Amino acid sequence: MKKESLGSRIFDVFNIMIMVFILVVVLYPILNIVATSLSGGRYVSSGSVSVWPKGLTLDAYKYIFKDVFIYKGYMNSIIYAIGSTGIMLLFTSMMAYPLTVQGFIGKKFITVFLTITMFFGGGLIPTYLLIRNLGMIDTLWVMILPGAVGAYNVFLFRTFFSNIPSELKEAAYIDGANEFVVLSKVIFPLSKPLLATFALFGIVGSWNAWFEALIYLQDQGKYPLQMILRNYLFTLDNNEIQGRVGAANVAINGPGNKLDPQAIRMAIIVITMFPIMCIYPFFQKYFTKGMFVGSIKG
């Protein structure tokens, strides 16, 4: 076995040190958020919590889960994430696949049209007027349909589909399959890395979306979880939270150690990011392959 040179070993050590530093930088805020959400009020208010909870308590979570809008926000976010991602994958695939079919008459026009949309956007006000005229204001569909098709995604899907051997499609044609059967029975099963990668992007993007809800939704019962989080972080001041906490008689470890508003905010951040952190490991094995294969050629 060939022995590594001194320069190679130094390079490896340097890379490991950088990765460890990045890991610490990324993990410290997360650990601090979790620790703060689990700590007693007097420790949080004094700023003595770092990465380990002090005065361990679950009162912040108990307080949060008394809010009925938390459950509604969770359910709404799940519906928006699954619905928008599923529609995005289906519509993007159905638009990208014809661009790989030889002899498709509208291929050039659609390609030019999609390219134009990558350089020019309608803007917020025209988009709002369009959404209003379509009757989607304050409906679930306004959080699902607008992102159904994106030009960048279509081109990546087209590239991926073009890399699939044409012999497989020809064999399906010989067996009597039409284009819809080829797409569903041949293309989709071979496109799992790409579909999984963009499913991850879609789920994360939809889960983190709040601006669309701020603009288009008026009914708080339709708010996604991120809007509930925003309300806790920005629209509730300390006095209001502390008054609500006091009214609920939430106290820990004796007088003067009541639940701190900062702990409530950190707790809702934890429950907001927890589902996404659970999803990542299941998509990780597809992520690199999907992005690599989908960008081999233009």
**Cβ distance 50 to 32 under 8 Å?**
yes
Is 265 among the domain residues? yes
Q: Which residues contact 258 (CB under 8 A, 6 or more apart)?
A: 41, 242, 245, 246, 250, 251, 252
What are the tens digits of pLDDT across the range 39-53? 888 888 888 888 888
Is 194 among the domain residues? yes
Check residues 214 and 259 and name the one with the higher pLDDT. 214
* pLDDT the model gives residue 294: 47
Mean pLDDT on 13-23:
91
Is 8 among the domain residues? no
Confidence category of residue 237, pLDDT binned at 50, 70, 90:
low
Q: If you search the block for the tokens 């906490």, which residue do you land on?
A: 245
> Residue 220 is part of a domain; what is its CATH number?
1.10.3720.10
What are the tens digits of pLDDT across the range 87-132? 999 999 999 998 988 888 888 899 999 998 888 877 888 899 999 9
* pLDDT the model gives residue 256: 45
* pLDDT the model gives residue 298: 43
Is 218 among the domain residues? yes
CA 217, distance to chain mean position in Å, is 20
Is 240 among the domain residues? yes
CA distance 132 to 128: 6
Helix (H, G, I), strand (E, B) or coil at 205: helix
What are the tens digits of pLDDT across the range 158-171? 988 888 888 888 88
Q: Is residue 27's pLDDT more than 60? A: yes
Our CA dihedral for 138, 144, 145, 148, rounded to 10 degrees, sits at: 160
> Number of structural domains, the chain?
1
Check residues 234 and 17 and name the one with the higher pLDDT. 17
Check residues 9 and 136 and name the one with the higher pLDDT. 136
**Secondary-structure breakdown of the chain: helix, strand, coil percentages, each rounded to the nearest 5:** 70, 0, 25
Cα torsion 239, 241, 244, 246: sign = negative
Is 45 among the domain residues? no
Tokens standing for 189?
């099963």
Provide, rounded to the nearest whole percent, the portion of the chain with pLDDT above 90. 23
Provide, rounded to the nearest whole percent, the portion of the chain with pLDDT above 70. 85
Structural domain range at position 107: 62-293
Is 89 among the domain residues? yes
What are the tens digits of pLDDT across the range 162-207? 888 888 888 888 888 888 888 888 888 888 888 888 888 899 889 9
What are the tens digits of pLDDT across the range 58-93? 888 888 888 888 889 999 999 999 999 999 999 999
Is 255 among the domain residues? yes
* pLDDT the model gives residue 255: 46
Full-prediction pTM beyond 0.75? yes
